[in-house]
Amino acid sequence: MTMTVLGLGAMGQALATAFVKAGLPTTVWNRSAHKAEALAGLGAVRAETVADAVREADLVVVCVLDYAAVREVLEPVAEQLSGRVLLNVTNGTAADARRLAEWASAHGVSYVDGGIMAIPQGIGRPESVILYSGSREAFDRWAVPLGAWGTGKFLGTDPGLAALHDLALLGAMYGMFAGAFHATAMAGTEGVPAERFTEDLLVPWLHSMVDVLPMLAGNTSVSEERRLVERVALTNIVSTSAAQGVPEHLIAPLRSLLDAHAEPAATA
């Protein structure tokens, strides 16, 4: 089992390092060659070109900035990829993944798409989840070595599924971070240190709210009673933000979102 990792940014380096530490023969390539030095020191084989990197590989992992970069890296070696498994963990849409899977299939390549639900420092820990979709056979063949990255979850043979779930989860993360930064800024206007506010109040509060999510799952409509209560709170957050000089453009749209989800009033 020989693996190649194309793309050694923060994430690609973490993925390749996990392979090497698991004792898997690993070849690495990066556009800017110096990023392969640390991995070569750990025992990875450093390839000068993408073609060299792909030549001996059974599994080719690509982890670069976006799908334009994926195409740029892979198009020139399309023929060489034939008969191999391509695992793409680059961020993209479900449509991007489906198009790349078609391209792979046209070149005799088995395609698996991946969504990494972890930061580079989390790679190698069992609590780090990596979502997969695409060729079931290829995933099953590589599931054990891929366990070096974290816990794999295969979502189905539609290659777009991993990207769809990845983007959905990232959307939840961005929303949470944006709300948390807004909260920190509000408290900061009265001199509350961000670190203290975050550790003492924000993190415990968000933890407790996460526990409410299963009760809300599948039910986003809001009763008129609840809508009135939530609307008062949101209005007060918006007006306090404005008064304290914190931009309210994140919170303000939540009021119209709340109104849009109000249950129709019961008719007599």
- Which is nearer to ligand FVH, 8 or 238 (by Cβ)? 8
- Which is nearer to ligand FVH, 26 or 91 (by Cβ)? 91
Enumerate helices (H) and strands (E) in the chain, giving the number of each: 13, 8
- Which is nearer to ligand FVH, 145 or 150 (by Cβ)? 150
State the nearest-atom distance from the C-beta of 37 to ligand FVH, in Å: 12
Q: Which residue is nearest to ligand FVH (CB)?
A: 9
- Which is nearer to ligand FVH, 151 or 244 (by Cβ)? 151
Strand locations in the chain, DSSP E? 3-6, 26-29, 45-46, 59-62, 85-88, 110-117, 129-134, 151-154
Distance CA 131, CA 88 (A): 11
Structure tokens at 87: 């695992």
What are the backbone dihedrals phi and psi of residue 47, each rounded to the nearest 5 degrees, phi first?
-95, 145
State the nearest-atom distance from the C-beta of 87 to ligand FVH, in Å: 12
Q: How many CB atoms are closer than 10 A to CB 53? A: 24
Q: How many CB atoms are closer than 10 A to CB 81? A: 21
State the nearest-atom distance from the C-beta of 31 to ligand FVH, in Å: 3
Give the DSSP H/E element, type plus range, for residue 213: helix 213-216
Q: Which residues bind ligand FVH (CB under 6 A)?
A: 7-12, 30-32, 35, 63-65, 69, 72-73, 90-91, 116, 119-120
- Identify the three-state secondary structure at position 233: helix
- Which is nearer to ligand FVH, 90 or 133 (by Cβ)? 90
- Which is nearer to ligand FVH, 164 or 246 (by Cβ)? 164
Q: Is 152 exposed, middle or buried (0-12, 13-18, 19+ CB in 10 A)?
A: middle
Q: Is 161 exposed, middle or buried (0-12, 13-18, 19+ CB in 10 A)?
A: buried
State the nearest-atom distance from the C-beta of 13 to ligand FVH, in Å: 7
- Which is nearer to ligand FVH, 63 or 186 (by Cβ)? 63
State the nearest-atom distance from the C-beta of 79 to ligand FVH, in Å: 19
State the nearest-atom distance from the C-beta of 72 to ligand FVH, in Å: 5
Distance CA 84, CA 90 (A): 18
State the nearest-atom distance from the C-beta of 25 to ligand FVH, in Å: 21
